[in-house]
Structure 1
């Protein structure tokens, strides 16, 4: 260690452990330093330097940090209870020091020792998930080695009380669909499977149903406990007129009433009376053609294809929405839905 009066600095040359010294690291200490006294000023078992200055009425103290600083960091701050937190202690040598610190780091939560970890390339890490909710003063104490004095780093870690994860359940139906006729019923087996530790009561409802359908659950609610699935049965019933709600409106072809046909013929026959034989023959031919045309219309309809006033409806599909609700501990209601399908056949 030396003083440089011309530059107002004090220089420190750290040993390399092999009898040689590193390049000097200089520190400003005021004008014209000329004297150095060595003593353990702060009682940390490390020799410090006290420098007297010709241009300054006081003295300058240079505390010996053993050429190493301990920096402590947290991977998650704040964290929740049960979260995994990694504390990392990094030892950084001061400028001019080439040696890499060796030894161990002792991690503490207040006065409680968490673990002691060996340094690797100047670093040591500790993983823990056992910190309780609250404020924790975490320390990393460096043991020191032949080249470096012991040192410590600190940080404040905040742990918040984590909210317990909310469970949930999976709702399924077997079979997922069914085909019935008006006046019949279809049964669906419902299963409530708890996930992630879910417990509680699940209530069932069908919500809004299509016209002509009704539903019933047995039971209307199930209790989930001990991680075991629960079962219920859904019965969907179609009324006798359920299919009528799905039948399209019928539009029969416009047909000429039979009475109108005969009326036209009678008028035609009356018109023949009083006519000459030549005219009567021509009129009879015209009436005959008219009768044939009317008969064709009656047989084929206006569209030219056979027609029936009674339509045979195809299968009509209906969606039944199963609504499952449950109440949380905080009084909130959650719901999930499942669709089953019913096809109505004539």
Structure 2
């Protein structure tokens, strides 16, 4: 019907602020047979949609939570974030203790006069933290078969405490496992083969920490046992008295056990005693000492007679008694009786001297005698190579 369409316009523009209005007007239309009347209109400017999305950063477990930034979508007319009257606040829904995995990031609180704001979440990716694995041994040298302590320490590269289990190895041979407590785990190991063993510990990781292996720790396995020494190794003991020697037991290779002692080679009139009667070796390779007391019984016989061959002097006294009786019965033969007595005295004296010069296990004489005495130690080891014996030889002179 219209032969000429109307032309309509408004005073509003793309830069008109949101919420404002502007009149509209039409004119110039033509239609035969019609009278055209124009009525004004109104343009209302509404806010443009603006989407604010929280950024998606990443972090390591136990580390510092990263900042979250707003990402804008929907600015018009060349606008930037400067068009906002209030910047939005963005953050991650996580702390340094949030387990490895993902967490949401959010923005809120922005304002812009010409925009209608909408918010979209982002994602924070939390990766496992690295760990450092270390191994310590309670001993660098150990007796074969004796227990010693291995301690594993798993330290975080950030914060937090690693958990889970660790495995101990002798080369490629598994020794055992232990559970971490406070980032540490201990294990009692025993090694049989002599020589150097390279020990390691491996950590398999947990939900928040990655695994790792320690550097090798060398432990030298040696034969275990003990040695004896006597100080001094020679003493003089008077008959009727005693003497003392210090016996020292020196363990090696972490020998553990109770050592008992005995002595042999003493003459029949002598005895030995140990104080204390046994020694306990505790695996610390610390020397232990005990006292060996050797006691010699007093010599037998009549004490008023000469020391050598007292039994011969008894024969001499008997001969004198017989001579005296003979003199009383045979006074006519006084000279003969005294002569016989002198001969008996001479023979008895010679016999006594011969007896007095004897040696060996004579229990009635007081001549000097030397004895080679062996002290034997026997131990029931509590671990390792089992029971062991050791000896020490000393010389004792009895006067």
Q: When the two structures are superposed, what TM-score results if normalisation uses the length of structure 1?
A: 0.38
Structure number with bigger Rg: 2
Q: When the two structures are superposed, what TM-score results if normalisation uses the length of structure 2?
A: 0.34
